[in-house]
Amino acid sequence: MDLQYWKDNQDFMDGYAYRKLTFENIKIRHDNEDNFVADLIKYKILETNETKGFWNLILNKINK
């Protein structure tokens, strides 16, 4: 549980990146949100799921 107050996204990214580097030796870029999220995905801290489009659903039904 994190009780620390973050004034904005930049403040959160700075603190999160600092803790990851200090405690886990993982360097996360925190100069902007795009780099921050890219590094979270790169280090498997954050996972994303691609939504299936209409044609993927149709093709999956045909291939079954």
Residue 58 lies in a domain: yes
Rounded to two decimals, what is the model's pTM? 0.71
Residue 30: exposed, middle, or buried by beta-carbon count in 10 A (0-12, 13-18, 19+)? buried
In angstroms, the CA 1 to CA 38 distance is 24
| pLDDT, position 46 | 92
Q: How many domains does the chain have?
A: 1
> Residue-wise pLDDT tens for the chain (64 aa)?
567 889 999 999 999 999 999 999 999 999 999 999 999 999 999 987 765 566 666 666 565 5
| pLDDT, position 55 | 63
Residue 56 lies in a domain: yes
- Domain encompassing residue 52: 9-63
Residue 52 lies in a domain: yes
Residue 2 lies in a domain: no
Residue 38 lies in a domain: yes
| pLDDT, position 25 | 98
